[in-house]
Amino acid sequence: MPTTINGADVQAVLDAARRFSPQDRLTPSPEDWRDCWIYFLMVDRFNNPAAPPKAAFDSPFGGFQGGTIEGIRQRLDYLKGLGVGAIWFTPVLKNCPFLDGNPNEGTYHGYGIQNFLDIERRLASDPIHASDELRRFVDDAHARNIYVIFDIVLNHTGDVFAYPSGSQASFNENGYSPIHWRDEKGNARNDWTVAEDIVDPPQDATVYPDELRRNAFFRRQGTPRPGGAETIGDFASLKQLLTADHELGNVLIRSFQYLIAAYDIDGFRIDTLKYLDRDFALRFGNAIREFALSIGKKNFFTYGEVYDDEQKISQFIGRNVSVSGDMVGVDASLDFPLFFRLPSVLKGMSPPDGVIDMYQARKIVEKNVISSHGEATRFFVTFLDNHDQHQRFYYSEPGDPHRFDDQLTMALACLFALPGIPCVYYGTEQGLHGNGDSDQNVREALWGKPGA
């Protein structure tokens, strides 16, 4: 796999994508993403035809259950039968394989990236050929007219270095120095304090591509200050990047342009979008859109996670026509304002006026915002639940398990009838009903469910 964004291998992939020759032509975008509905799945928790889950399918479990990319491929006909138009799946880029000398099981979710050009071997049925497995899955999805959406992370990397106190540290306004970069076994090296001075580290060590190895690209201030801005600081042990740095932005943009070309990707869901420097977020959206156009993907779709209100969302999507020189940023957002209201309305816990008021408020907040698709709200990705919640929308009462089936039917009908692009979380169609005190309760290993 490439180790640098400026290598001949990366350039060859980019050049091939632009040639438009029959053997190099990539899959065109859909004419209108609203004609597709999205199925969101966790790769490690969806399917592995070769082995059962390591733990009970519906038990809270904080490690790898064994789901694979090949497992998804083998269920494409099932997904096509549901009517799925696009699959959004959790990140498949390489995460930190070890931590403090032990296998790093906590990275099963994929959001702790160590190498932005490589594919996670632990999510492949054949680890040596993980990249080929991913491309085969994408090609087979496209053959069924199913589009593929990568879940990507720009805000942070995995636990690629340690503070003097370990993986996490309390907030330090002036930043920590020294830090200790981790080797191929995840051990913090006392002699690895300056990333630029580490020559040819093993590919499981530090961070890749090579151009990312600069101390100045990382905030190095520990976790957010209590009572301070939640967007400034590490995400637990995941190390925050300083996305206001223009050169860092260039590295990330080229890395993800390469991934589009290498794997024929149709869209990006951007994790923790509101944590990014706003100018970089807009620049990234512009650069990805322009690159996709150059390789024949005229409607590449980007949407971000902004776990906040309408005002915050409006800062990251589209272009504010009232601001001179404002860029057209990310196309759309996950519709958290709707998520904050719709489930309680559907369960009879609050009046429907709240949803109406939300749409009216959105019109006011976004009256000057135009996305690449026109009115941004028509392309918001709507949902009932996801992998970050502690309970699914559907509730199965122990003594009367089908009592609330109609409630779920009505909820899905509303999701598909309201403005936006509906997104259904994996297992909803099979009645998964995880409920507990952590997100592990809603990350069931679907293929272990009897009759799945």
Calculate mean pLDDT across residues 361-390.
90
Same domain? For 271 and 361 the reply is: yes
3 belongs to a structural domain: no
> In residues, how long is the chain?
452
Same domain? For 168 and 254 the reply is: no
Whether residue 320 has pLDDT greater than 80: no
Which residues pair with residue 188 across a beta bridge? 182
Residue 294's SS3 state is helix
Same domain? For 177 and 116 the reply is: no
Which residue in 216, 246, 277, 265 sits closest to 89, CA to CA? 265
Calculate mean pLDDT across residues 269-281.
97
- Residue 324's pLDDT is 64
Whether residue 21 has pLDDT greater than 90: no
The pair of structure tokens assigned to 59 is: 């038990």
What's at 108, amino acid-wise? Y
Same domain? For 355 and 314 the reply is: yes
| CA 24 – CA 31 distance, rounded (Å) | 21
pLDDT tens, position by position, 193-216: 999 999 999 999 999 999 999 999
Q: Are 109 and 90 in contact (CB under 8 A)?
A: yes
Calculate mean pLDDT across residues 134-157.
99
The pair of structure tokens assigned to 451 is: 């009759």
Total of domains in the chain: 2
Calculate mean pLDDT across residues 160-172.
98
- Among residues 233, 268, 285, which one ends one of the domains? 233
The pLDDT confidence band at residue 218, using thresholds 50, 70 and 90, is very high
| CA 414 – CA 84 distance, rounded (Å) | 17
pLDDT tens, position by position, 3-17: 999 999 999 999 999
The pLDDT confidence band at residue 354, using thresholds 50, 70 and 90, is very high
The pLDDT confidence band at residue 418, using thresholds 50, 70 and 90, is very high
Same domain? For 220 and 246 the reply is: no
Given the structure tokens 């860029």, which residue do they identify? 327
Same domain? For 80 and 146 the reply is: yes
Specify the DSSP element, H or E, that contains 142: helix 130-143
The pLDDT confidence band at residue 117, using thresholds 50, 70 and 90, is very high
pLDDT tens, position by position, 63-87: 999 999 999 999 999 999 999 999 9
50 belongs to a structural domain: yes
Same domain? For 155 and 114 the reply is: yes
Whether residue 369 has pLDDT greater than 90: no
Calculate mean pLDDT across residues 320-331.
77
- Determine how many CB atoms are found less than 10 A away from the CB of residue 75: 18
Q: How far is CA 231 from the centre of its chain?
A: 17
| CATH number of the CATH domain containing 39 | 3.20.20.80
Calculate mean pLDDT across residues 244-273.
99
What's at 316, amino acid-wise? F
The pLDDT confidence band at residue 325, using thresholds 50, 70 and 90, is low
Same domain? For 427 and 352 the reply is: yes
Predicted model pTM: 0.97
Same domain? For 182 and 154 the reply is: no
354 belongs to a structural domain: yes
- Residue 373's pLDDT is 72
Calculate mean pLDDT across residues 91-113.
98
- Among residues 214, 233, 252, which one ends one of the domains? 233
Specify the DSSP element, H or E, that contains 330: none
1 belongs to a structural domain: no
Whether residue 377 has pLDDT greater than 90: no
191 belongs to a structural domain: yes
Strands (DSSP E) along 96-236, which ranges? 98-99, 102-103, 113-119, 147-153, 161-162, 180-181
Comparing 62-76, 144-158, 311-325, the range with the smallest average pLDDT is 311-325
Burial 295-322 (b: 16+ CB within 10 A, else e): bbbebbbbbbbbbbebebbbbbbbbbee
Same domain? For 153 and 284 the reply is: yes
CA angle in degrees (0–180, nearest 5) for 122-125-129 = 85
265 belongs to a structural domain: yes
Same domain? For 177 and 209 the reply is: yes
297 belongs to a structural domain: yes
Which residue in 449, 451, 385, 450 sits closest to 46, CA to CA? 449
- Among residues 233, 262, 284, which one ends one of the domains? 233
2 belongs to a structural domain: no
Same domain? For 99 and 194 the reply is: no
For residue 192, the enclosing domain spans 160-233
- The torsion angles phi and psi of 326, rounded to 5 degrees, stand at -65, 140
Q: What percent of the chain has pLDDT over 70?
A: 99
- Residue 141's pLDDT is 99
Whether residue 174 has pLDDT greater than 90: yes
